[in-house]
Amino acid sequence: MNAQERLLGIADDELVLGWRESEWTGIAPLLEEDVAFSSIAQNEIGHARALYQLIVGEEGDADALAFDRELEKYRCAPLVELQLLDWAHTIARRWLYEIADEIRLAALKDDPDPAVAGLAAKIDREETYHRMHAAMWHERLRDEPRFQAAVEELWPYAVGLLPSELRDELAVRTGLDLPSDNLSQAHERGTHTDELGPLWEEMTEVRRSAPAGAQW
Amino acid sequence: MVALAEAQVWEALEEIPDPEIPVVSLVDLGVIRSVDVQDGHVRIEFTPTFLGCPALEFMKRAIEEKVPEAEVVVVQDDSWSTDKITPAGREKLREAGFAPPAPRLVQLQSQVHRCPYCGSTETRLENIFGPTPCRSLRYCDSCRQPFEQFKTI
């Protein structure tokens, strides 16, 4: 995978996950979480915007890259596509995603391209607060069987967030075992779930309904 | 036309309030990275506080209106942290009831947060997230005042 494609994968993860997290706005089980998920969604989509801009260059059109692609061209991992309107699964994904994201950001911060390394460092500062939030909920729910079952179910998806060389660290940090061929396979980037379709329809609806270059 | 001097540009920028916390200017916030004036050409580099900040375009336009001669460039590197908020900016935040962010070094070593109203450190976190990405919600157990804490990043 080349560097551009790797960045595009992360940008798509953040865009699609931001979209999914925003689905809690107004209906989260606690008012504090309504605010938290709205903020987290805003941050993730902000990170996606910055990454798209980095890929297309200063004069390029980040919105076009974000919204004018066919569904099959998206590079997000299947984990972020799932519509999870169950709190145990939602928190399980938050917790797994933030750990994986921290690992890949740490690698990107050492990127030889200073623009990539600088943006990764800036994103990482903001993610600190997502990690605090995820850790707080993990602490609260980790002994609940329903939460444990959700983590187990989403684990093969979480593995698909990272390239193979970073997966061992994810296993160590989460205390989970990497899927082997005998057990469940990782849900790899490049494949999509059926749940991406309706999300893509919604996400790109405005762009598709207005001619390119429309002024708002 | 008389060419603008760098100092004049900085003065003009000091008059632009932050769109979400208008008690502080963009200069107070430390988001103006550089001002460069050469042969009548003005280049202003600024950087967002948080990448998801919806006020980003708004701030860019405000700079362009204030200094029409300038080329305004948004920089997305890691050059901003809350340590870049000026001492004057921190004082203005405190006066308006926003606890200024703890310096990064201090934050790493302690979890003390001071109430901007009574100065007590007997405060607790109510929510990591608040009305904008840059703020948390805390509550002061001494003066029983809820307050907003500017996040250290």
pLDDT digits (tens, 9 = 90+) for B109-129: 778 899 999 999 999 999 999
Q: Report the alpha-carbon distance of residue A22 to residue A37 in Å, rounded.
A: 6
In whole numbers, what is the pLDDT of chain A averaged over residues?
94
* Nearest-neighbour CA in chain A from B2: distance (Å): 30
CB A132 within 8 A of CB A125: no
Residue to test with chain B: of A34, A38, A42, most B Cβ within 10 A: A42
Token readout for A69 is 């692609």
A36, A122, A125 member nearest B127 (Cβ): A36
pTM reported for the whole predicted model: 0.92
* A72-130: pLDDT as tens digits: 999 999 999 999 989 999 999 999 999 999 999 999 999 999 999 999 999 999 999 99
Q: List domains and CATH numbers for chain B.
A: 6-80 (3.30.300.130), 97-150 (no CATH)
**Three-class DSSP category at A212:** coil
Please tell me if residue B153 touches chain A, with a CB cutoff of 8 Å: yes
The ipTM value here is 0.88
CATH superfamily of A3-177+187-209: Ferritin, core subunit, four-helix bundle (1.20.1260.10)
Q: Would you kindly state where each structural domain of chain A is located, as residue ranges?
A: 3-177+187-209
Q: Report the alpha-carbon distance of residue A138 to residue A141 in Å, rounded.
A: 5
Chain B contact set for A114 (CB, 8 A): 77
A44, A49, A118 member nearest B77 (Cβ): A118
